[in-house]
Amino acid sequence: MSVQDTADERLLRAVVDLLAQKAVATPAEIAERIAITDAASPAQGARMVARAWVDPEYRALLLADGTRAAEAMGIPMRGAPPLGVLENTPELHHLVVCTLCSCYPRAVLGYPPFWYKSAGYRARAVRDPRGVLADFGTVLPEDVRVRVVDSTADFRWMVLPLRPAGTEDWDEARLASIVREGDMIGVTLVSP
């Protein structure tokens, strides 16, 4: 250990060594999990959304089994809770929240944004979903139903947002580039 090692680095190394000594996980397995975690980002979910917009078979898989759909895109889901995907329609808009803590589909969206974990967002999303949406600049017509869905430790959710008009001739990569994290939580709408 060098003098510049932080206490956190030393603690991490000690935990990795202990896990290896107890045959719980090898350093290689731990390094693999760290690499998977580091690769997770909203770009992963955006690729899934874009594929669903252009490929009806993939869309059906995504809505039936989000975990298998993620794995079909090369996103490792081993050890993650099952992933459900909620489809927004012109009549129904989904808003995802975790009312107890911050359960979040990290494998496909990366780390949750700071506001997602806040007590204010968690409570208000259930109590006043349209107000929360308005805070993000999302104003839906009154005839669009808003459904709040609770992510849990046992099941994670993400939203398949509506594909914006005017993108019919766009390829998958271009579509993925316009999908934001908030679109897949349901607080924002995709715009070209």
Same domain, 95 and 165: yes
Q: Is residue 159 part of a domain?
A: yes
Question: Residue 170's closest CA among 44, 54, 47, 88?
Answer: 54
| Single pTM value for the model | 0.87
Q: In the chain, what percentage of residues exceed pLDDT 70?
A: 98
**Residue 158, SS3?**
strand
Selecting among 101, 118, 177, 191, the annotated active-site residue is 101
pLDDT at 84: 98
To the query of whether residue 2 is one of the catalytic residues in this protein, the response is no
**How is residue 24 annotated by DSSP?**
S
Closest alpha carbon to 99 in 133, 124, 134: 124
CATH at 105: 3.90.330.10
Taking only the tens place, the pLDDT of each residue in 123-179 is 999 999 999 999 999 999 999 999 999 999 999 999 999 999 999 999 999 999 999
Instruction: Copy the structure tokens of residue 65.
Output: 């089994």
Q: Clarify whether 41 is annotated catalytic.
A: no
**What span, in angstroms and rounded, lies between the C-alpha atoms of 99 and 29?**
32
Domain identity same for 45 and 32: no
- What average pLDDT does the chain have? 93
β-strand partners of 149: 96
Is 101 marked active-site?
Answer: yes
Residue 137 gets the label, from left (phi > 0), alpha (psi -120 to 50) or beta, of left
Instruction: Please say if the pLDDT value at position 92 is more than 70.
Output: yes
Instruction: Tell whether 12 and 50 lie within a shared domain.
Output: no
Residues 75 and 185 sit within 8 Å (Cβ to Cβ):
no
Catalytic residue among 2, 41, 102, 177: 102
Q: What's the whole-number mean pLDDT along residues 18-23?
A: 90
How many domains does the chain divide into?
Answer: 2
Query: What percent of the chain has pLDDT above 90?
Result: 77
